[in-house]
Amino acid sequence: MFSMEADASKLKSQNLTEIELSSTNNIRLLKVAMAFGSNASGKTNLIRAFWTLINYIARKPKVNDRIWMYEPFLFDKESSKSNSEFEVVFIGPQNVKYIYQVVFNQKQIEFETLNYYPSGKITNLFTRSSKNDTDSNIHVGILGPSLSKKDKEINVFNNQLLLSKFGDDEPLEELTNVFLYFKKYEIINATNTKQRLDIERQVSAEVFNDISLMNKLNSLIRFADTKLKGFQVHNIKDEKISANIQNSLKEKLVANPYIVFGQHPIFNNSVDTGELHSLSFADESTGTQVLYAIGGKILMTLQNGGILIVDELDTSLHPFLTRMIILMFQSKSLNPKNAQLIFTSHDMTLLDRDLIRRDQVWIAEKNETGTSDMFSLQDFDGVREETPFDKWYLAGKFGGLPSIKSIDSMFDNESSSK
């Protein structure tokens, strides 16, 4: 089970934060966790699980729609027809511990409950149940005894989550705050160009209206040695620049009125003239575009708090930049609200014992039957904080490496079949 809870080690205390719970106990949480593994090992499924649940909470399906988050393991006869289950344990509003559980299949939500620990003792906030009529597509949500509307039953369609009802339909502070907690998750697939463009639009809208955020992102881009002096964001609806844009470009920017330009120094005989040339971000390198989009989301997360989850964080980024991002989250001054970063990677230079703790590294591995498991380095015997994580990983001591045979035998079966 994937966890951001830190182990008992007192080393690298800057890598974690200790939260005083509303009950008597405190909890130590990691600021950064990373998952490694070979291609198709299942590490991306960790990100998909977060994305699927959070999007299903935020977007209610229509009545009688199939439950699209149901994706059973198809390579086993029993599991291909079994229910799927999510369980999320998290520290929510007012530093209270919550446990949210949901069990479902393609047709309906079979079970759903939300519990919390306001004073160290488990208390139910709601549980759903189906009506006696097995053909009914309506389930009933029963609110817990601690809520102001405890005697009220709430109807919910059998393919919809009860938690989703408290976003707009049934606002109730104690539950709406939990709904809003999940909506604060930011989940990014760094290899998805369409999503990256959408993130660029979101970042541009934010920095256009927040000069402090713009200055920070400019500093990040300069610090990353992109050779840019910075960038500028224009809104074609508000600025004179719109008159200089061709009609074809205007049509493309209907959904995104923001245009970003990189600011490049102009030289004369290798001497900086002090002048700048504006280059459309569409003509910048992919690495610069990724840094702008993901860097903007990183700064917004550090500024507002929350959880940022990125699949393939190192895509198009130099290893030094990925390392810099980790250091930003582990910095007390740059991360005052204790935002958290979860990501997958193939960059083994990050397995640096001077940078991370053993409980920050997770290994995904797929067995012969096609099922995946995830292990933290703290689960392996003999692993200490002084262990050279990268060397042990490359030596196969943690698994998570592709099993590649001699390349000379790659096409043996093809040759023998002729």
Domain boundary, last residue among 137, 170, 203:
170
Could you give phi then psi for residue 145, rounded to 5 degrees? -70, -20
Q: What is the mean pLDDT of residues 384-399?
A: 83
Domain check: are 165 and 196 in the same one? Answer: no
Give the confidence band of 256 by pLDDT, cuts at 50, 70, 90.
confident
What angle (nearest 5°) sits at the alpha carbon of residue 266, between those of residues 262 and 268? 165
Please give the pLDDT value at position 176. Answer: 95
Q: Is 253 or 266 the better-scoring residue by pLDDT? A: 266
Q: Is residue 314 part of a domain?
A: no
Pick from 240, 236, 233: which is nearest to 208 by CA? 233
Q: Could you list the residue range(s) of the whole structural domain that residue 113 is in?
A: 64-170
Give the confidence band of 250 by pLDDT, cuts at 50, 70, 90.
low
Q: Is residue 415 part of a domain?
A: no
Q: What is the mean pLDDT of residues 261-269?
A: 91
Q: Is 246 or 50 the better-scoring residue by pLDDT? A: 50
Average pLDDT, the chain: 86
Please give the pLDDT value at position 350. Answer: 93
Please give the pLDDT value at position 17. Answer: 95
Q: Is residue 290 part of a domain?
A: yes
Domain check: are 217 and 137 in the same one? Answer: no
Total number of domains constituting the chain: 2
Which of 16-30, 85-99, 138-152 bottoms out in mean pLDDT, i.e. has the lowest?
138-152
Checking if the pLDDT of 188 tops 60, the result is: yes
Place of tokens 């500028």: 232
Q: Is residue 342 part of a domain?
A: no
Q: Is residue 118 part of a domain?
A: yes
Domain check: are 154 and 85 in the same one? Answer: yes
Please give the pLDDT value at position 317. Answer: 83
Checking if the pLDDT of 403 tops 60, the result is: no
Could you give phi then psi for residue 171, rounded to 5 degrees? -60, 125
Structure tokens at 152: 């009220």
Domain boundary, last residue among 286, 305, 324:
305
Q: What is the mean pLDDT of residues 326-346?
A: 95
Q: Is residue 26 part of a domain?
A: no
Domain check: are 161 and 195 in the same one? Answer: no
Please give the pLDDT value at position 369. Answer: 63
Spatial distance between the Cα atoms of 242 and 98, rounded to a whole number of angstroms: 49
Domain boundary, last residue among 139, 170, 201:
170
Spatial distance between the Cα atoms of 90 and 302, rounded to a whole number of angstroms: 19
Domain check: are 298 and 221 in the same one? Answer: yes
Please give the pLDDT value at position 409. Answer: 61
What number of other Cβ atoms are within 10 A of residue 318's Cβ?
A: 14
Checking if the pLDDT of 383 tops 80, the result is: yes
Q: Is residue 333 part of a domain?
A: no
Domain check: are 166 and 239 in the same one? Answer: no
